[in-house]
Structures are given as C-alpha cells and as structure tokens.
Amino acid sequence: MRERAISQDEEAGAGARIVNFVRLAEAANGQPLHERLYQRIRTLIVSGTIARGAKLAPSRVLAEALGISRNSVLNALDRLIADGWLEARRGSGVYVAYDGARISDAALRPPVRRPQAIPLEAGLPPLDLFPIETWNRLQSRRWRHMSQAGLQEGESAGWPALREAIAAHLAAARGFDCSPDQIVVTTSIPAGIDLATRALGLAGAHAWVEDPSFNGSKQSLHNCGVQLVPVPVDAEGIDIAVGERMGGDARVALVSPVAQYPTGVPMSKRRRERLLAWARAGNAWIFEDDYGWNEAGCSAARPLAADGHANVVYFNSFNHTLFPALRIAFVVLPPGLIGRFLAVREGLDGHSNVPNQMVLADFIDGGHLDDHLRRSRECLAERRAVLVQAIARHLSPKLMAVSSRGVGEVICDLLGHEEETIVARAAEAGISLTGMSRLRLIAGPPQLLLGASFPPDAMRRAVEGLAALLG
C-alpha cells in the first residue's frame, strides 16, 4: 500500500484529527493491536463517524498518534481495504469506500416512561385481561402465611419453587426440558443479558443484533462495552450472510428465532442451522430471546435452546405476558455455567421481589398462567385484526399497515410525514406511537409501530384521533 508524501505540518494536523476518533480500548480477550484497530475503524465507518470519501491519515501518523507500531497499522488498513471498507488511491492516500447503511442516531435513546399505558403503546400485554382477582387471592394467601425467609433477599438464582415451576412450564409449553438448577431468575430480559454478558466475559466483543429489535436488550449489551453489529432481518429472520460480512469475528448473536420483535418473522430452519453452525465453529454464544412465543402460530415452534445446544443461552420474561410491574424474568443456562453466573450475580443488585416470586410460582402451579396465555393469544389475534381494519378505514394512504405478524403490534409505513414529528404530536393528543427508528441501528424508511393490546373501542378512537392529526 503506497502513500503520497506530505509535509510534517499536514501530518500533524491529520494525526490530531484522527486521534480524536481512533482510540483503542484496553486489550480484550488477547486480541492483537492490528485486530483492535481494524474493529475500531470499521465501527467508526458503520456508525457514520467517518463518512464515505473521507481520507485517513497516513499510516505513520496513525502509528505515532496511537502509540503503536506502523506494521500494526498497515496490517489493519490492508485488511480494511481487502474487505471493502477502505480503498487505496495510488499517489493520493487511503479513503473510506463503504457506502452502506449507517447506524441511526435515534437507536439508543432512553425510552419514554409514562405513568399509565395509553393507546397505541407498543410492547404491552393486554392488561385488561389479567386475572387480577386470582392474583390477589394467591397473594393474600401467601402474605397470611409469610415466613421470615420470604422477607429476605432470597437465593441468587431465585426462589426454588419458582424455578421448579418455570422448568415444568417450559417442558409443557415449549417442549424444553431443563433442570431448575439451570435457571436464574432476573428482573427483566435486559437484566439477564447484562448478567450473561458479564459472566461470559464478553466486554469488548462484537455482537450481532437483529435490526430492528427490542432496544432494551441492545442497550444492555452496549452498557457492558459490547460493540453492536446491526444485521438486517428478512423473511427468514436474521440474515446470517450479512452478519458474517459485517462482523464475522462476533462472539455473540442476540436473536429471537421463534417470533422476531417487532416484525414477528420466524427464523427459517435453514437460518437456524446456519446460525448454530456459526456459533459452534467460532465458539460463539447465541443469546435467544423467546419474546413473542405465545403468538398465534408461534407457540408450537421450539426454541433453539430446547435441543440442548451448549452455545445457546435462553431468555424469557413474565413482564410482557402478565404485567410490566411484576419484574420477573429468567435465564436458562447450558449445563455447567450456573456457578459462574451466580458468582457474578452476587456482586450485582436487581434481585426480583421474593413474595412476588412466591405468588408467581403458585400462579403457574395452579394452571392460571396457561389459562391466561391462551386467552391472551386468542384476544391479541382478534384485536390486531381490529387495528388493521381501523388503519385501512381511517388512515390510508398516509399510514399503511405493512406487517401485522408482530407480537401484539402492527408496523405501518408513514407516507408524507416525518416520523418523530408525528410521534410527538400524537403524544400531545394522548396517543402513544413508537417510531421504528427507535428500534433500528441502521436508518430506514419512516415507519410507526402501533400496539394492538388495547380494547377495540379504545384503539378505534385512537386511530380516529391519529387520522385527524395526519389531516
């Protein structure tokens, strides 16, 4: 790779500009310097920090600014050129060649929290269907006979009876045989991902994440120092071929194979097999989020973890099937990992409320969970149909449903309006919309995600109000 000669002043200026961006993290997982530099520059290109056509500083300037050998810089740049991220122009220098999708600025913004659910908020279970009288009865019985143990923080892995109930539920509902000793109770799926990332030593690693996908899980990886590699989702699920091109060195893939959120797309058998082969070949981890398994047509599909794959860590939650304030989720680990996870858990806060764990165990053992999930599955299918009909009647052609396979949601194209503007105006009118840019790392077309978990009349009124806003 040849570089043109430049003056010392030019070199100093270029080096000063580059060092503001290209800073290497501390050594992670024994990676050599040239590999860390390759990953860092690639991340800056995908994020848009270094744009197409931008010229990089000469290798000697980079080496001096970063305090590493010139050979390390040349090895990294040569690989970036070979992989198509950069191009070398004879007599001129090295320039950014990549012109693909960029990570969206809106992707990791904190979510908006509301004191109560309002139509058409996404990601909620049908709260009006929850059997609160049954829960109150079980809770009252527990509190009448509460032991001092129930007032303690409890075991790090969770209340033993709840882990037993979860194992029995997984076997019956998901065809997933596991021991209660493989289960760790957490407060949420993102909390479980945080725990798994720390326990498996993934800080500094690259992770494939579906794009679009649930923001909280991505944020957990990001908070632990994991570098996110957004991989698009198509009709077969996550596009593994793109993942291998974008981040073939990834050590973890965060996926929802049974029903991808928010598209609802199931991962094809071909993609499942290829993903498992990728994990085995690279000794990588698959973080399987089983969000949405209870959707109509999805409940019979087996999770990847059900077949005993040693590379799969399974996550699920009761917060999005019962009620968000419950704060109980769980992780199922491959055999032999529980000790490592509990050692890390001891240093973390976030244990689930023990009395709630007790009541949930009773709720599961009494058959109430199965009854509620069945009612919810039937109801959500009906309510989603109502929402799609209302959109077609009142909002077409400015808002058009393009996917109604999601987990209680409908994805819509937004025509002739800016996404963030409509979301803000709707919020002022008491209507909750989710802009799809909040679920994407790669910028996409203006789209909205509408929740279908509300009573039909409430959704119809919200759609009519939205029609008035769109004009």
Do the Cβ atoms of 169 and 361 come closer than 8 Å? no
- Which residue from 403, 194, 359, 402 is spatially nearest to 287, judged by alpha carbons? 194
DSSP collapsed to 3 states, 196-216: HHHHCCCCCCEEEEEECCCHH
Q: 278-325 pLDDT, tens per residue?
A: 999 999 999 999 988 887 667 668 999 999 899 999 999 999 999 999
Number of H helices, E strands in the chain: 15, 14
- Which residue from 227, 230, 157 is spatially nearest to 199, judged by alpha carbons? 157
Taking CA atoms, 220 is separated from 192, 196, 239, 257, 352, in Å, by: 9, 10, 22, 19, 18
- Checking if the pLDDT of 43 tops 60, the result is yes
Half-sphere exposure of 324 (CA within 13 A, CB side): 11
pLDDT of residue 350: 63
- Three-class secondary structure of residue 103 per DSSP: strand
Q: How crowded is residue 234: how many other Cβ atoms within 10 Å of its Cβ? A: 12
pLDDT of residue 255: 98
Give the burial class of 6: count Cβ atoms within 10 A of its Cβ; 0-12 exposed, 13-18 middle, 19 or more buried.
middle
Token pair, residue 393, equals: 């009647």
Q: How crowded is residue 308: how many other Cβ atoms within 10 Å of its Cβ? A: 12
pLDDT of residue 37: 85
Half-sphere exposure of 144 (CA within 13 A, CB side): 6
- Which residue from 206, 203, 253 is spatially nearest to 223, judged by alpha carbons? 203
Q: 93-109 pLDDT, tens per residue?
A: 888 888 765 665 555 55
- Checking if the pLDDT of 12 tops 50, the result is no
Looking at the chain, the whole-number percentage of residues with pLDDT higher than 70 is 87
Helices in 352-367 by DSSP H: which ranges? Answer: 354-365
Rounded to an integer, the average pLDDT of 238-256 is 92
Token pair, residue 392, equals: 């077609």
Q: 370-392 pLDDT, tens per residue?
A: 999 999 999 999 999 999 999 99
H or E element: which one contains 136?
A: helix 132-144
65 or 5: whose pLDDT is higher? 65
Q: 208-235 pLDDT, tens per residue?
A: 999 999 999 999 998 888 989 999 999 9
Rounded to an integer, the average pLDDT of 153-169 is 93
Token pair, residue 245, equals: 């091109």
- Checking if the pLDDT of 65 tops 90, the result is no
pLDDT of residue 42: 82
pLDDT of residue 20: 47
pLDDT of residue 47: 66
Cβ within 8 Å of residue 256, ≥6 positions away: 210, 213, 214, 288, 289, 290, 291, 292
DSSP collapsed to 3 states, 389-431: HHHHHHCCCCEEEEECCCCCEEEEEECCCCHHHHHHHHHHCCC
Lowest mean pLDDT among 33-42, 182-191, 354-363: 33-42
pLDDT of residue 298: 73
Taking CA atoms, 325 is separated from 115, 127, 268, in Å, by: 11, 11, 34
Cα gap 299→419, rounded to integer Å: 33
- Checking if the pLDDT of 129 tops 70, the result is yes
pLDDT band at 147 (very low <50, low <70, confident <90, very high): confident
Q: 403-440 pLDDT, tens per residue?
A: 866 668 999 999 989 999 999 999 999 999 999 999 99
Cα gap 99→84, rounded to integer Å: 10
Rounded to an integer, the average pLDDT of 136-147 is 94
pLDDT of residue 349: 65
453 or 246: whose pLDDT is higher? 453
Tell me how far apart the terminal alpha carbons of the chain are, to the nearest angstrom: 58
pLDDT band at 3 (very low <50, low <70, confident <90, very high): very low
pLDDT of residue 2: 30
Lowest mean pLDDT among 23-37, 80-94, 402-416: 23-37
Q: In what order do the strands lie in the sheet with 399-403?
A: 399-403, 409-414, 447-451, 434-435
